[in-house]
Structure 1
Amino acid sequence: MGFSAVYPLCRNRLLIGACLIALLVLMAGCGRVSNGYPGAQGGRTFPDAPPPKSSPSTPVQEAPLPIPSEYDRTRSEDVSLRETTTAIASLSQGSPLKGAPRRVQAAPAAKARQRIAILLPLSGQNAVLGKAMLNTAQMALFDLAGSNFALLPFDTKGTPRGAATAAEAAFESNVSLILGPLLSTSVSAISDAARARNIRVVAFSTDRSVAGRGIYTMGFLPRTQVERVVTFAHNKGLSRFAILSPRNAYGYAVVEELRRAVEKVDAVVTRVVFYDPAVAMDTKKLSEIVRDLADYDLRAHALNEHRVELETLDDEISKRELERLKGQETLGDVDFDAVLLPVGGDHLKSIAPLLSYYDVDPKKVRFLGTGQWDDATIGTEPTLVGGWYATSGPKEWERFVRRYEDRFQAAPPRLASLAYDATALAAVLVGTGTSLDDFSLTVRGGFAGVDGIFRFHPDGLVERGLAVLQVGHRGPRVVSPAPVKFTDG
């Protein structure tokens, strides 16, 4: 399990690139380290921070959360970033990453302690996810942090007001970077205050509207997912795309990204149908929507007219054609050869069979999805078998899941990896003495973590290198691997 970055040969990024590449190699060689958490050597756990100044607007419970005693451990001073930088000098010469720096003189570890805040919903509606994300942040802390790195968790309670209160407590603790919060409304609630203090935010939201001017979104955005699967489908000969999308902010965003991606490959969008997500489990109402997408009534009418015409002809060819049409309900194909279904779970499994029912033949029309299809049980719906979707490469995630399960005796939610990669990114930048500013966060070569390569653009949006997977009866398989580097970096 590793975390790395590839930096162009400019300014202090040369040194950082070597450090991050070496850390990737070092962590890959560590294997599973979960059994060594409580007493093994490694990065310092959540240290005590000065309590925030008391004020009516800063409740006591918003202070940095204490780490449970079972996680307590300390790092011996001789096993720190200094040891890592010694290994960097020997590893940088043989770096497998093209364009990576060859020989770099390792700099001494930074002495000043950096406090990094992580804002998560540790109570409220999303507490289960928030606590799992804190667990993965802790894993990154143990894996990569030096003794000069302090991670301070704050509870947002899953609300904008709670996020604003948590951010104020973080500012009073003199943090230099904020990881999180999770929800877009919570990100919006802290953005202006963070900008006013010149503190960067690496949020876990998937809402692109909150990004920019020092706010970076770590979440899985629709753009990269849609562009990846559309480009792959077009390369396989598909050129006419349709979409059945929920009528909400996410659905509108996916439709916009589909139009953008299709135009980029010189294909066409032939049909766009929205529906109210509230009817997703209402078979009768959903049937009417899918029927419209499939143009079922017009195609059924065409079949009836054709039958009437054939019945007026008394010849063997017409009789054989009538016989062939027995059992058919429509005539002619739909006007698309790929349909994008940007939903997942039971919602997806209720839509897919209706498409087949209304004569959208999955043997002729390829079903496409986004990362919401990233579900090991998706192949239990036969209509979806053969469908393609874009997501991060599965191997690193599977290793990560095993480590998490070994440590916490439960499977991590899919979004939990975001907190690991964000914390790892912060730990490595702090460990190399790099400023936590826009220049360092937007390095063109990007970073590599649990969810593959990623990089931030100056507009605050994340770009990811994704794989394309095909749904199978026994689970998905990779049909197009994720890239290992950005080609223009």
Structure 2
Amino acid sequence: MFAVLSSARKAFRRGVAALSLVALTACDASLVTDLGAGSGGPSVDPNAPIPVALLVPRSDAGAASVAQSLENAARLAIADLNGVRIDLRVYDTAGNAGIAASQAQKAVDEGAKIILGPLFGEAANAAGNAVADEGINVLAFSNNPSIAGGNVFVLGPTFFNTADRLLGYARARGRNSIVVVHPANTEGEFGRSAIQQAAERNGVRIAAVESFPFNEAGVAAAVPRVRGTLQSTGANGVFLTSTPAGALPLLLQLMPEAGISPQTTQYMGLARWDVPPQTLGLPGAQGGWFTLPDQNMQRSFTERYVAAFDGSPHPLAGLAFDGIAAVGALAAQGRRDALTGGALTQTAGFQGTGGVFRLLSDGTTERALAVATVRNNSVVILDPAPSGFGGAGF
């Protein structure tokens, strides 16, 4: 037990020491907006090459590799298009919001009809503002709904999307009362809010919310409080917002040791629990629920990327592929309004690297997700990702 606990603590420290690029695609809560996505956009000639601007942080030393992976994935998607020609133009944001805004304006001045990127939330917000008056839509690589709306769409998977999928599944299986556990930081608070919204939509009761300071002592002190709250409220589930790079390993180790049994209390989480795979061996992960994109589609994309570029794609690379896929699918219909907000938010959605997805009128993206669990330290799919919208899982 000591060795396992030590490993969980080391994982927590590594996560605190180095923020992942996935987390960095988000931004500060001060950017929250309630703007809906606009219906406008430029007219295009679907029979001519469509100028598309790709904004990525090429010269940012900490993000250059993901920038290249995004560009590679976009070019891979372009090669897939049948009869649709994309004129991809790449602009360097240097990971800076001000530069992103000026590069977005430059791209539009040079003829871009739509913008893919930028990567970071603050930069995407700035780019969207810079070209909003010209009716150019921005498909950002962020997962932060606070920047979505108007002419900005976020392609990244949102916390609400994940929470909605899990709580819909939970409600159908009698898990109708939960305790939310989150770190007292911006990411944790976004996660908590998303779970609360999804719970209301799915008729699940939030019995209590427990937050903790984002450090080891804070996690350790929170565990007995969570146990007491579960006992006093009668809740039959606990929803964790933490990631494997953060507090999740400690929580999945300490909570079962404190008597919060996975056999009686349903553990579930906003993050993927299979990356890194060591998380699957923790006692609290056994029987827990989390979501995954369509694994067959994701494997196919990874294999094709490796064959084309002799290296694995960054986890965010598929977002660039998806953006090009959406543009190509609409242009293939021969639509002059293919890049307007009204067209981009078509109900049927698009086929992406992780399954079907669609852009919503609030500027966020809804993605088909599978519900997965852990059995004998391995991932088992409980409910596959839907293959279209309107069926089970949506």
Which whole-Å CA distance do the structure 2 matches of 1:464 and 1:401 have between them? 18
Aligned counterpart in structure 2 of residue 368 of structure 1, from 254, 265, 268: 268
In structure 2, the partner of 1:256 is 193
* Structure 2 residue 207 is matched with structure 1 residue 270: yes
- Whichever of the two has the greater Rg, that structure is 1
In structure 2, the partner of 1:461 is 364
Q: What whole-Å deviation, never above 9, does each CA across 1:390-447 have from its counterpart, x for those lacking one?
A: 2312111122222222333332222211111111212333344322111210111111
Q: Which runs of 5+ in 2 are unaligned?
A: 1-44
Q: CA deviation at 1:376?
A: 5.5
In structure 1, the partner of 2:28 is none
What is the letter of the counterpart of residue 289 of structure 2? W
Aligned counterpart in structure 2 of residue 407 of structure 1, from 302, 305, 308: 308
Q: What whole-Å deviation, never above 9, does each CA across 1:63-99 have from its counterpart, x for those lacking one?
A: xxxxxxxxxxxxxxxxxxxxxxxxxxxxxxxxxxxxx
Pair 1:472–1:132, CA change in 2 (3 A): farther
In structure 1, the partner of 2:344 is 441
In structure 1, the partner of 2:119 is 182
SS class of match (1:400): helix
The percentage of counterpart residues that share the same residue type is 27
Q: CA deviation at 1:149?
A: 1.6
SS class of match (1:294): helix
Q: What whole-Å deviation, never above 9, does each CA across 1:261-299 have from its counterpart, x for those lacking one?
A: 22233331112112233x1xx2x3320122222228xx9
8 Å CA contact 1:392–1:452 kept in 2: the answer is yes
8 Å CA contact 2:213–2:219 kept in 1: the answer is no
Which whole-Å CA distance do the structure 2 matches of 1:146 and 1:166 have between them? 29
Q: CA deviation at 1:128?
A: 2.1
In structure 2, the partner of 1:134 is 71
In structure 2, the partner of 1:450 is 353
What is the letter of the counterpart of residue 222 of structure 2? I
* Structure 2 residue 327 is matched with structure 1 residue 394: no
- Name the one with the larger strand percent: 2
Which whole-Å CA distance do the structure 1 matches of 2:68 and 2:379 have between them? 28
What is the letter of the counterpart of residue 197 of structure 1? E
What is the letter of the counterpart of residue 287 of structure 1? A
In structure 2, the partner of 1:344 is 243
Pair 1:118–1:145, CA change in 2 (3 A): farther
Q: What whole-Å deviation, never above 9, does each CA across 1:92-146 have from its counterpart, x for those lacking one?
A: xxxxxxxxxxxxxxxxx94332210011122322222222111111110111164
What is the letter of the counterpart of residue 175 of structure 1? A
Counterparts of 1:99-178 in structure 2, within 5 Å, are 110-124=46-60, 125-144=62-81, 146=83, 148-178=85-115
Which whole-Å CA distance do the structure 1 matches of 2:190 and 2:210 have between them? 14
What is the letter of the counterpart of residue 255 of structure 1? R
* Structure 2 residue 154 is matched with structure 1 residue 211: no
8 Å CA contact 1:179–1:202 kept in 2: the answer is yes
8 Å CA contact 1:391–1:467 kept in 2: the answer is yes
Q: Which runs of 5+ in 1 are unaligned?
A: 1-108, 300-331
What TM-score results when the alignment is normalised by the length of structure 1? 0.66
Pair 1:202–1:374, CA change in 2 (3 A): farther
Which whole-Å CA distance do the structure 2 matches of 1:425 and 1:141 have between them? 11
SS class of match (1:237): coil
What is the letter of the counterpart of residue 427 of structure 1? G
SS class of match (2:178): strand
Pair 1:264–1:118, CA change in 2 (3 A): same
Q: CA deviation at 1:333?
A: 7.8
SS class of match (1:336): coil
Counterparts of 1:11-90 in structure 2, within 5 Å, are none
Pair 1:247–1:228, CA change in 2 (3 A): same
Which whole-Å CA distance do the structure 1 matches of 2:84 and 2:385 have between them? 34
SS class of match (2:314): coil
What is the letter of the counterpart of residue 356 of structure 1? P
In structure 2, the partner of 1:104 is none
What is the letter of the counterpart of residue 48 of structure 2? A
Pair 1:213–1:285, CA change in 2 (3 A): closer
SS class of match (1:367): strand
8 Å CA contact 1:158–1:183 kept in 2: the answer is yes
In structure 2, the partner of 1:335 is 234
In structure 2, the partner of 1:288 is 221
SS class of match (2:122): helix
Between the two structures, name the one with larger relative contact order (CA 8 Å, sep ≥ 6): 2
In structure 1, the partner of 2:318 is 417
8 Å CA contact 2:57–2:95 kept in 1: the answer is yes
Q: CA deviation at 1:223?
A: 1.0
8 Å CA contact 1:387–1:471 kept in 2: the answer is yes
8 Å CA contact 1:244–1:339 kept in 2: the answer is yes
Pair 1:129–1:276, CA change in 2 (3 A): farther
Q: Considering only aligned residues, what root-mean-square deviation do their CA atoms show, in Å?
A: 2.3
Which whole-Å CA distance do the structure 1 matches of 2:375 and 2:203 have between them? 29
Q: What whole-Å deviation, never above 9, does each CA across 1:17-53 have from its counterpart, x for those lacking one?
A: xxxxxxxxxxxxxxxxxxxxxxxxxxxxxxxxxxxxx
8 Å CA contact 1:470–1:476 kept in 2: the answer is yes
Which whole-Å CA distance do the structure 1 matches of 2:259 and 2:160 have between them? 30
In structure 2, the partner of 1:356 is 256
Q: CA deviation at 1:385?
A: 1.8
8 Å CA contact 1:149–1:430 kept in 2: the answer is no
* Structure 2 residue 381 is matched with structure 1 residue 481: no
Of 381-390 and 428-437, more deviation after overlay is shown by 428-437
